[in-house]
Amino acid sequence: MIPPVDELLDLVRAYNPKTNAGLITEAYKFGIAAHEGQNRHSGEPYFTHPFAVAKILAEQRLDDSTLITALLHDTIEDTGASYEIVTEKFGREIADLVDGVTKLTNLQLSSAETKQSENFRKLFIAMSRDLRVILVKLADRLHNMRTIKAMRPDKQAQKSRETMDIYAPLAGRMGMQWMREELEDLAFKVLNAEGRASIMRRFITLQNETDDVIERITADMALELEKTGIQAKIIGRAKKPYSIWRKMQEKELAFSRLSDIYGFRIITRSEAECYRTLGVIHQRWRAIPGRFKDYISQPKSNGYRSIHTTVSGRDGKRVEVQIRTWQMHDVAESGVAAHWSYRDGVRTENPFAVDPVKWVSGLTEQFDAEEDHDAFLEAVKLEMYADQVFCFSPKGDVIKLPRGATPLDFAYAIHTRIGDACVGAKIDHMRVPLWTRIRNGQSVEIITAEGQTPQATWLDMAVTGKAKSAVRRALREVDRERFIKLGREIARASFENLGKKATDKVLETAAKKLRLTDADELLARLGSAEIVSQSVVQAVYPDLIEDHSESVLPERAVIGLSADQHFQRGRCCQPLPGERIVGITYRGKGVVAHRIDCDRLRDFEDQPNRWLDLHWQSGTHPAVYPVTLELTIGNDAGVLGRVCTLIGEARANISNLEFLDRKPDFYKLRVDVDLRDAEHLHSLQSLLEAENDVAALQRVIDPEASIADNGPEAETQETIRT
Type of residue numbered 207 = Q
Choice among 44, 78, 555, 702 that is catalytic: 78
Question: Are 173 and 384 in contact, with CB atoms under 8 Å apart?
Answer: yes
- Rounded Cα gap, residues 95 and 101, in angstroms: 10
> Can you give the C-alpha Rg of the chain in angstroms?
32
How many Å apart are CA 679 and CA 243, to the nearest integer?
A: 60
Give 70's contacts (C-beta < 8 A, 6+ positions apart). 50, 53, 54, 56, 57, 136, 139, 140
Q: How many residues are listed for the chain in this entry?
A: 722
Nearest CA to 330 out of 556, 533, 175 is that of 175
Residue 93 CA to residue 103 CA, distance in Å, equals: 15
Question: What are the strands of the beta sheet with 625-634, ordered from one edge?
Answer: 653-662, 666-675, 625-634, 694-699
Angle at which helix 132-146 crosses helix 116-129, to 10 degrees, equals 130
DSSP 8-state secondary structure symbol assigned to residue 166: I
Alpha-carbon distance of 115 to 339, in angstroms, equals: 32
Calpha distance 290→578 (Å, rounded): 65
Strand extents, DSSP E, 199-261:
233-238
Angle, CA of 65, 66 and 67, to the nearest 5°:
90
| Cβ within 8 Å of residue 556, ≥6 positions away | 617
DSSP label of 165: I
Catalytic entry in 26, 44, 77, 224: 77
Does the annotation mark 77 as catalytic? yes
Angle between helices 519-527 and 504-513 (to 10 degrees): 80
Pairing state between β 318-325 and 262-268: parallel
Bridge partners of residue 566, in order along the sequence:
590
Q: Just list the catalytic residues.
A: 77-78
